[in-house]
Amino acid sequence: MSERIMLSVRGLKKSFGDLCVLDGINFDVKQGETVAVIGPSGSGKSTMLRCLIDLEKAQDGDIIIDGTPLMQGGVYVPDAQARAACSKMSMVFQNFNLFPHMKVIDNLTAAPLFVKKQSRDQVMPRAMELLKKVGLEDKANVYPSSLSGGQKQRVAIARALMMEPEMMLFDEPTSSLDPQLTAEVLAVMRQLSEEKMTMIVVTHEMGFAREASDKVLFMAERQIIAAGTTQEIFENPKDERVKSFISSIL
């Protein structure tokens, strides 16, 4: 696996008013790695993800994306540089966030057309290719309201891939889905992992974390309290909080 560091986070701190939610987060993500972020609810996992892609502002720390700073020493780079750094990443949200007034194909093509200023001739073939990849090429001309939750999430993944990111962030992408629909979405994510897409996945799906990830971060009490391979975290955890969490869900 390449040693190119796609993301480096040091000393990341985030508070909402007097409430500290991230207290000194440190980790790296290498190119091609799938990193699963697990831990109890309320430990700051989703907030951390939102800080990485500049949807939330942190108060302190460093966020370096493929060698380009988003924030250093708690100071953000100018907006244009921030957008350039974050353009290497795409995010898939828990609640899909599709545009309900747009057909599926238009959900996929909107950002490349209007943000990247690409031509329709450029984006349409790629959009259909990605819909085929997620098994939904027959849904190109329907509205999101006619899709199941699993189909919506697969469209959301295809839409994120349209921006040709070098890294994908997933924020509990299956938490609102039933087991059958969860399996549909996880199958697409496993394929991306096998293709060595760099991914950070906040998840409660321990099977995915255990089978598809290269590295696991365990968050609790506003910090990453354990980081290691799936074997180190799931089979031989050193921290009692990790042991207790793993034993309660497996």
Q: What is the pLDDT of residues 111-157, one digit of tens each?
A: 999 988 999 999 999 999 999 999 999 999 999 999 999 999 999 99
As a whole number of angstroms, the distance between CA 61 and CA 124 comes to 40
Highest mean pLDDT of the ranges 24-33, 90-99, 171-180, 233-242: 24-33
Strands (E), the chain: 5-16, 19-30, 34-38, 60-65, 68-72, 75-76, 89-92, 167-171, 198-202, 215-220, 223-228
Nearest residue to 166 via CA among 67, 96, 76 = 67
- The percentage of residues in the chain with a pLDDT greater than 90, rounded to a whole number, is 88
Q: What is the pLDDT of residue 249?
A: 80
As a whole number of angstroms, the distance between CA 169 and CA 186 comes to 14
Give the Cα-Cα-Cα angle 242, 7, 202 (nearest 5 degrees): 40
Q: What is the pLDDT of residue 141?
A: 97
Nearest residue to 61 via CA among 115, 136, 8, 125 = 8
In this predicted structure, the answer to whether residue 202 has a pLDDT above a threshold of 70 is yes
Query: Within a 13 Å sphere around the CA of 233, how many CA atoms are in the beta-carbon half?
Result: 27
As a whole number of angstroms, the distance between CA 58 and CA 47 comes to 9
Q: What is the pLDDT of residue 116?
A: 87
| pLDDT tens digits along 37-78 | 999 998 999 999 999 999 999 999 999 999 999 999 999 999
The pLDDT mean for the chain works out to 94
As a whole number of angstroms, the distance between CA 212 and CA 115 comes to 32
In this predicted structure, the answer to whether residue 160 has a pLDDT above a threshold of 90 is yes
Query: Within a 13 Å sphere around the CA of 134, how many CA atoms are in the beta-carbon half?
Result: 31
